[in-house]
Structure 1
Amino acid sequence: MAVETTAATGALIKFFGVPLLTSAAATSLGFMFMWPKTRKEAFLRIGTTIIFSTLCGPLLVVALRSWWPGLFEAARDIAIMYGVDPALGVVFIAAPVLVLAGLPAWWVLGAFVRWFGRREDKDIGELARDAAAIVHNARGRP
């Protein structure tokens, strides 16, 4: 029995498929460099990476397209050269950008989870003082 798709289903797969696949690639790269300590942390970081990649990735692609339009034209030409749909050339550029958009979320969230984990017995005032001390040390102030 063959699975038939409508145009709307195909559009949904195209719309959500690329961001989800690239988010999965960003997550796997994050696992390679910074393994989560608990299952809860893993699910939180995976979800954050997918959301960040899906929301911020397209904005980065649009910014890159406005900054360097020739790159997308070259990708379209390469798609034609390989005999595939010219619109697929955008994916050649967009997929790595979407992956790169998700990686900072993975690392930043992991750093916050670990920072808060080391200070779990402190109240909000003590956390604020710790954060202020870190900022002052980073700026080189005594």
Structure 2
Amino acid sequence: MNFDISAAGATWIKLLGLPLLAALLATLLSFMVMWPRSMKEAIIRICSSIIIATFAGPVLVAAVLSWWPGLFDSANAVAVLYGCDPATGFLFIAAPLMAAIGLPAWWVLGACVRWFDRRRDKDIGELAADVAAAVKEVRSGR
């Protein structure tokens, strides 16, 4: 069995490269909106964007592909117009979707950290009561 190293490397780049590049783009866009206050915050934001783009990004791409397959067909046609491989058109749609899903990751993470920080001295039961009260408040429309 002949194993081609370059084919294996290309496969890993396809599997990991797109989510990582999308997460990098999402992080750079989020830094344009709000610069991190510390190196620790920057690292956390980068990691959270990478994790979300890596795991939720392909799910979003699959969902959009099932809801709107014509979009990907059009992107393939555009790739051919640019002289690229038609499969490259898939990346025209997938990369922005994966970057977009990575954008709110650090905002959600920050909100969770602040929520837990305000309740630092509470046990799990008190935290559950706070969650129930917050859900009740949201449902009542206050």
Q: Same fold (TM over 0.5)?
A: yes
Matching residue of 2:87? 87
> What secondary structure does 1:59 align onto?
helix
> What secondary structure does 1:12 align onto?
helix
Offset, 1:41: 4.4
| Larger mean Cα displacement after TM superposition, 97-106 or 73-82 | 97-106
User: Is 2:96 the partner of 1:96?
Assistant: yes
Q: RMSD value over aligned CA atoms?
A: 2.2
Offset, 1:103: 2.5
Matching residue of 2:61? 61
Matching residue of 1:21? 21
Count of residue correspondences: 138
The TM-score with structure 1 as length reference comes to 0.82
| Larger mean Cα displacement after TM superposition, 125-134 or 70-79 | 125-134
Matching residue of 2:134? 134
Matching residue of 2:44? 44
Structure 1 unaligned residues grouped into runs of 5+: none
Deviation string for 1:17-68 (max 9, x for gaps)? 1110001112223334455555444433422221221111112111211111
The TM-score with structure 2 as length reference comes to 0.82
Distance 1:125 1:110 in 2: 22
Matching residue of 1:107? 107
